[in-house]
Amino acid sequence: MTSITLTELNQNPSRATRLADHGEVIVMRRGHAAYRITRIESSGDPLDELVATGLARPSRSTAPRSARRFPTIATGTDLEAALVAERAKFDGLI
């Protein structure tokens, strides 16, 4: 277990997280323990873990989460066909 001051945490948070990778870190405020930083062992989707602990609420959307995160875009062949059609319009004007 390592301890750092609140000022050290504010000035160098990345150091605190590196220390937490190797064990628990206690943050001291005016000489008293105020906060504890620990590493969270993740086994799956971080959003599902937050919902399970009560720190986040599940979405009200009925669509699968993967569909909401990554919208469908046109593929290369669809874009190529659109470009050919646009070029054909301009070729007729010249």
Domain locations in the chain?
2-93
Q: Binning pLDDT at 50, 70 and 90, where does residue 16 land?
A: very high
Q: Is the pLDDT score of 8 beyond 80?
A: yes
- Cα separation values, 74 from 68, 71, 77, 78, Å: 16, 10, 8, 6
Query: Does residue 71 carry a pLDDT above 60?
Result: no
Task: Strand 25-29: give its sheet, edge to edge.
Answer: 2-5, 25-29, 32-37
Give mean pLDDT, residues 7-29: 93
**Whether the predicted model's global pTM rises above the 0.85 cut:** no
